[in-house]
Amino acid sequence: MPDPTPGITLSAATVILSDRVVLDSISLTLTEQRIGILGRNGSGKTTLLRLIAGLIAPQQGSVRLDGIDPYSDRKAALAAIGILFQNPDHQILFPTVEEELAFGLIQSGVSQAEALARVHQALAREGRAHWAKEPVSNLSQGQRHYLCLQAVLLMQPRTILLDEPLAGLDLPTQARLARRFADLPQRLVTITHDPAAVAAADRVLWLEGGRIAADGLPADVLPAFTAEMARIGERDADADLTR
Ligand SMILES: Nc1ncnc2c1ncn2[C@@H]1O[C@H](COP(=O)(O)OP(=O)(O)OP(=O)(O)O)[C@@H](O)[C@H]1O
């Protein structure tokens, strides 16, 4: 029976990859609309995102997404959650824009004709009806990112996971996408190494070595994170000099 409380719950969730504890007994309840997961390279952010999305299962503990187990109940998980990966080329499967956008809908049981109709409506709403037959390979990186966002939105998930959503995009594209994200009614979970990307979040979790190092408002977590990253950077620089 699904838990009527919407949100993401991890109970002592541990992920071990190749004999290595990558996430160490994490317990969390996330109910805020804008959640940031912040950490440096290798801290476990992508693994946490994959765990929440049900792409991997914890070796110990449990994960619940709006009351369902996202790993074992894939159909419910696909309706509940969408992921925008950092690299759109890891997400795009089809040669044309309309095929790419229709795929998720068709997978979820919508007829091909209905899926294409919804795709064309969505493109028209975005002022991009002319994109329908366009080869995806003709789109820039920023446009492919935007295409992937449209593909996620067409599925109308309640939660969207964003993996470094603005990395590698030019400043106008970053500003446009940030505005789009801010306007979305969905719960957004953003993973990033960049404190600025989660400055407006309702809650920020700082992940370090597969554990939650801090959890709170951006005003409390971000200065501590930034200071610690500067301290680590200085230490590494000193180590280089003494080599
Ligand atoms: N399949 C795997 N087998 C073994 N170790 C892994 C595997 N996948 C990830 N790891 C390790 O788990 C740790 C966390 O990786 P993860 O990709 O979750 O970090 P991240 O915070 O997303 O890093 P980045 O910011 O660099 O993308 C890293 O030390 C990584 O080497």
pLDDT digits (tens, 9 = 90+) for 182-220: 899 999 999 999 999 999 999 999 999 999 999 999 999
* pLDDT tens figures, 62-81: 999 999 999 999 888 988 99
Looking at residue 123, its pLDDT comes to: 92
Tell me if 87 CB under 6 Å of ligand 1. Answer: no
Looking at residue 236, its pLDDT comes to: 58
> What is 8-95+135-242's CATH number, 3.20.20.70, 3.40.50.300, 2.60.420.10, 3.40.50.261?
3.40.50.300
**Average per-residue pLDDT for the chain:** 89
User: SS3 of 219, please?
Assistant: helix
Ligand 1 centroid to 223 CA: how many Å?
25
Q: Whose CA is nearest to atom 1 of ligand 1?
A: 17
Q: Whose CA is nearest to atom 29 of ligand 1?
A: 42
Q: Whose CA is nearest to atom 14 of ligand 1?
A: 44
Listed residue (109, 133, 183) closest to 153, CA to CA: 183
Ligand 1 centroid to 137 CA: how many Å?
29
Looking at residue 242, its pLDDT comes to: 39
- For the chain, the domains span 8-95+135-242
Tell me if 43 CB under 6 Å of ligand 1. Answer: yes
Please compute, for residue 62, the number of CA atoms within 13 A of its CA located in the half-sphere on the CB side. 7
Ligand 1 centroid to 17 CA: how many Å?
9
Looking at residue 22, its pLDDT comes to: 96
> How far are the Cα atoms of 14, 121, 123, 149 from residue 218, in angstroms, in the given order?
26, 38, 35, 25
Looking at residue 5, its pLDDT comes to: 60
Ligand 1 centroid to 44 CA: how many Å?
6
The larger pLDDT score, comparing residue 188 to residue 175, is at 188
Residue 243, pLDDT above cutoff 50: no
The larger pLDDT score, comparing residue 236 to residue 172, is at 172
By the 8 A CB rule, do 166 and 89 touch? no
- How far apart are the C-alpha atoms of 99 and 112, rounded to whole Å? 10
Ligand 1 centroid to 116 CA: how many Å?
37
Provide the pLDDT confidence category of residue 240 given band limits of 50, 70 and 90.
Answer: very low
Tell me if 19 CB under 6 Å of ligand 1. Answer: no
* pLDDT tens figures, 114-154: 999 999 999 998 888 999 999 999 998 888 888 998 899 89
Q: Whose CA is nearest to atom 28 of ligand 1?
A: 42
- Specify the ligand 1 atom closest to the Cα of 39: 21
- Specify the ligand 1 atom closest to the Cα of 210: 14
What is the complex's ipTM, to 2 decimals? 0.95
Residue 12, pLDDT above cutoff 60: yes
By the 8 A CB rule, do 61 and 10 touch? yes
Ligand 1 centroid to 42 CA: how many Å?
5
Looking at residue 75, its pLDDT comes to: 85
The larger pLDDT score, comparing residue 2 to residue 184, is at 184
Question: Which residues, 6 or more positions from 90, have their beta carbon under 8 angstroms from its beta carbon?
Answer: none
Provide the pLDDT confidence category of residue 3 given band limits of 50, 70 and 90.
Answer: very low
* pLDDT tens figures, 85-119: 888 888 788 899 999 999 989 988 899 999 999 99
